[in-house]
Amino acid sequence: MIRALVCVFATLGCVVFSCERAYAHEGAAADQVTSQSATIQQGGLLFRSNCSICHGANARGGGKGPDLTTGRWVHGGSDADIFHTIAQGVPGTAMPANDLEEAEIRAIVSYLRSLAPDRHAVGSGDPVKGARIFFGSGGCNACHMVTGKGGVLGPDLSDVGASRAASYLVESIREPDKELTEGMADPNDLYNVPLRYDTVTVILADGRSLVGVAKNEDTFSIQLMDTGGTVHLLLKRDLESVRHEPRSLMPPYPPSRLGARDLADLVSYLEGLRGR
Ligand code: HEC
Ligand code: HEC
């Protein structure tokens, strides 16, 4: 009994403490925006009763308030910014201040995030966290080089931020097969059509096969880097077959593997890569 009471008090203490922090600091309050489905559901209910009248049933715009699912935020796109807009309103416009509870506002932000999880990736991530994912849990560096560090199976990403739009980066990570990267120009092609980073399967004369990307290829030979990173210089006359398939050797990173928040951080890291 006493033990149970102590637990209750300890929990209450924590709740009070976190509320105080949240009040003191909107950033800290917004930190607790989550992707838990119960919270998102609660946020959806709150949205429909307080906001839909202007922003439409599913936040897609309702005539009196803008679409909130486009991923573009006039008043700032971080969790803390959106929290602030909802709490304080936008003075001089129809967007009212709200006296919702902190937890309710967080639930609404979680709900809004859930509507366009990938578009959230544009312009709101933390590049420092993104770098940690790139070289850590994401394992991207196993195949990609950034300013001299990393693997070489995939393209060098040292200046990918200067050459690619955020939406392309999102697609490259979520669905690598959709648009394959073009590599260096094929030196043997008169029209200078670049080689694509497609998947190449070579069958050797003895029946063994190698899978990888072509780092170079002409009528007589192919330079194949296998998935282990070893480069094989092969003469085509020694091979059983060479097959190109229009799919990526990069594994897709669906939301179950890389959450919306992590994707946003990664993309903002990649967007900042602008030179060797
Ligand atoms: C009376 C109509 C009205 C209601 C009710 C209303 N809004 Fe708005 N909201 C607006 C208008 C109009 C704007 C655009 C303000 C501007 O011109 O920047 C806006 C802007 C916003 C923005 C900023 C979008 C951006 O691009 O940065 C957010 C976020 C937002 N509303 C969320 C909410 C939420 C959540 C609720 C419910 C708790 C709510 N609004 C209720 C009318 C409304
Ligand atoms: C097993 C190796 C491998 C891993 C791991 C890998 N990639 Fe890739 N990646 C590739 C290959 C091969 C390509 C080129 C083919 C294609 O377009 O998908 C590529 C292409 C890309 C491109 C497109 C570059 C351009 O300019 O077109 C981006 C961006 C990218 N990867 C980012 C990432 C990120 C971020 C991660 C980690 C979350 C990652 N990759 C993990 C192999 C890999």
Domain range for 34 is 25-116
Tell me the pLDDT tens digit for each residue of 200-216: 999 999 999 999 999 88
Same domain, 43 and 90: yes
Tell me the pLDDT tens digit for each residue of 173-193: 999 998 888 865 555 555 555
Atom nearest to 72 CA in ligand 1: 26
Q: Is residue 121 part of a domain?
A: no
Atom nearest to 163 CA in ligand 2: 26
Q: Is 49 in the pocket of ligand 1 (CB under 6 A)?
A: no
Same domain, 147 and 266: yes
| Size (the chain), residues | 276
Q: Is residue 8 part of a domain?
A: no
pLDDT surpassing 90 at residue 25? no
Q: Whole-prediction pTM value?
A: 0.58
- DSSP character at residue 65: S
Distance (Å) of CA 85 to CA 134, 166, 247, 264 = 32, 25, 43, 21
Atom nearest to 258 CA in ligand 2: 38
Specify the range with the lowest mean pLDDT, choosing from 210-214, 232-236, 270-274: 270-274
Q: Is residue 52 part of a domain?
A: yes
Q: Is 95 in the pocket of ligand 1 (CB under 6 A)?
A: yes
Q: Is residue 254 part of a domain?
A: no
- 225 in Cβ contact with 210 (< 8 Å): no
Same domain, 96 and 137: no
d(CA 240, CA 209): 9
Mean of pLDDT over the chain: 82
Tell me the pLDDT tens digit for each residue of 53-88: 999 988 988 888 888 887 778 888 888 999 999 999
Same domain, 48 and 103: yes
Q: Where are the alpha helices (DSSP H) in 26-78?
A: 26-30, 37-50, 52-55
Distance 113 CA to ligand 2 centre (A): 25
Q: Is 202 in the pocket of ligand 1 (CB under 6 A)?
A: no
Q: Is 55 in the pocket of ligand 1 (CB under 6 A)?
A: yes
Same domain, 59 and 89: yes
